Amino acid sequence: MLKREVTSHLLVTLAWLGIVTLLRWSWHWNLILLWLGGLVGTFLLDIDHLLYTLWIYPQELTSIRARNLIEQRRFKDALILLADTHEERTRLVFHSVLFQLVLFVFCFWVLTSTGSLFGTGLVMAMALHLLKDEFELLLLGREEYLRKWLFWQIKTEVSFYHQKLFVVLMLIVFLGLNLLLI
């Protein structure tokens, strides 16, 4: 499970970076910073699982098991455990609708106000990570699970139509932000 998740996120990010690099029509060594930021940003959101496990909900069984593995310095086993049980954690702060909205505003700010290609790659890859997860759940017909982890901060019931509408709107915003990058 861990290898499949890492591979799928990495392939999506590499494809995005390749397309952006080709569309820029400008080949400079500073593009390495965009790629490095993209690679870091791809996996940065997964820190959410560690925060949930170690600090936010340390009393849960999986949290106790993961903490024991970390204390025993069995980091690989802890990562495998967290990957295998990732669907248990539906209240992740970084994997929520409110965080995604703030992230997209931050993406706009980074793209328009800074010249940092590393920062641009970082925040855009984070946004891409969320979009990839959302589209994967929609395509698999797992709209109830998507509602649980994406809209858990919203106290109103979010219909499947509104979930799809939100994800499509976020994709359009992401594509628009890419126009600023190119």
Q: Is the pLDDT of residue 97 over 90?
A: yes
Give the pLDDT band of residue 12 (cuts 50, 70, 90). very high
Residue 181's nearest CA partner among 132, 128, 124, 129 is 124
The predicted pLDDT at position 127 comes to 98
Q: What is the pLDDT of residues 25-35, one digit of tens each?
A: 777 888 899 99
Task: Count the alpha carbons within 13 Å of 177 in the hemisphere toward its beta carbon.
Answer: 25
Give the ranges where 25-74 is alpha helix by DSSP (H). 31-44, 47-51, 61-71
Question: What is the average pLDDT score of the chain?
Answer: 92
8 A C-beta contact, residue 87 and residue 156: no
The predicted pLDDT at position 1 comes to 65
Give the pLDDT band of residue 136 (cuts 50, 70, 90). very high
